[in-house]
A and B are shown apart, each in its own frame.
Chain A
Amino acid sequence: TQLLEQSPQFLSIQEGENLTVYCNSSSVFSSLQWYRQEPGEGPVLLVTVVTGGEVKKLKRLTFQFGDARKDSSLHITAAQPGDTGLYLCAGAYNQGGKLIFGQGTELSVKP
């Protein structure tokens, strides 16, 4: 059972465009993380959101946690080729550090 649905699965855009990736679930999470993974490497943590409605910014990346703590979005402004990679959302329940990952969004930014 896939508890976290990410969309879109694949996204190919031109440099300078904006994009939004969505992460949805029917479950309530205590926190949600976004990771970025490059080929041949492990996922690297970008941000953790904890409070419903929380918005965090990391340079050109904006992360939002839904009010009900069931969904999240990642918005990238003026995408650059260096943003290319696999973006993963992961939700945590209250019981310990167990993370459930979405399937990921494969982003390709062409110069």
Chain B
Amino acid sequence: DAGVIQSPRHEVTEMGQEVTLRCKPISGHDYLFWYRQTMMRGLELLIYFNNNVPIDDSGMPEDRFSAKMPNASFSTLKIQPSEPRDSAVYFCASSLGQGPKAFFGQGTRLTVV
């Protein structure tokens, strides 16, 4: 049974470049979350969707960040332009219904140089 799948696992990019992170949630799950994890700030919720609709994007740090969920099986998190302070591990998670038992992907380690 496939879990949450994220790609790429690692991304190194130069400052100013556009970065797109991808996520495939567990089939049948209706909630999708994007988190960012750093040593300083821990796990921060960036945005979450319910049935493909963004519900709360208050955690998105700046307009440089955007997220989409065009269908139930795919979501993207885009950073344009990227900056060194965006370096972190980005996690996607999904859950079923109101019960917040989130299942996490393996994360994308982003390094902006």
Query: What is the interface of chain A, defined by CB distance below 8 A to chain B?
Result: 31, 33, 35, 40-45, 48, 88, 90, 92, 96-104
CB distance from B56 to the nearest CB of A (A): 6
In the complex, what residue of chain A is closest to B104 when comparing beta carbons? Answer: A42
CB distance from A49 to the nearest CB of B (A): 12
CB distance from A76 to the nearest CB of B (A): 21
Asked if B102 contacts A97 (CB within 8 A), the reply is: yes
Asked if A96 contacts B102 (CB within 8 A), the reply is: no
Q: Which of B13-21, B42-50, B63-71, B76-84 contacts A (4 or more CB under 8 A)?
A: B42-50
Provided the pairs A96-B31, A99-B33 are in contact, do residues A40 and B106 lie with their beta carbons within 8 angstroms?
Answer: yes
What are 28 pairs between A and B in contact, CB < 8 Å? A31-B100, A33-B100, A33-B102, A40-B107, A41-B107, A42-B93, A42-B107, A43-B43, A44-B104, A45-B102, A45-B103, A92-B100, A96-B31, A96-B48, A96-B56, A97-B33, A97-B50, A97-B98, A97-B99, A97-B100, A97-B102, A98-B48, A99-B100, A101-B35, A101-B43, A101-B44, A102-B42, A104-B42
Query: What is the interface of chain B, defined by CB distance below 8 A to chain A?
Result: 4, 31, 33, 35, 42-45, 48, 50, 55-56, 91, 93, 95, 97-107
Q: Which residues of B contact A43 (CB under 8 A)?
A: 43, 91, 104
Taken together as a complex, chains A and B put the C-alpha atoms of A52 and B99 apart, in Å, by: 17
What 9 new A-B contacts, CB under 8 Å, besides A42-B93, A96-B98? A42-B104, A42-B106, A45-B103, A97-B97, A97-B98, A98-B45, A98-B55, A101-B43, A104-B43
**Most chain B CB neighbours (cut-off 10 Å) among A35, A40, A42:** A42
CB distance from A36 to the nearest CB of B (A): 11
Q: Give the dominant DSSP class at B's interface.
A: strand
CB distance from A85 to the nearest CB of B (A): 14
Taken together as a complex, chains A and B put the C-alpha atoms of A101 and B48 apart, in Å, by: 14
Taken together as a complex, chains A and B put the C-alpha atoms of A90 and B37 apart, in Å, by: 14
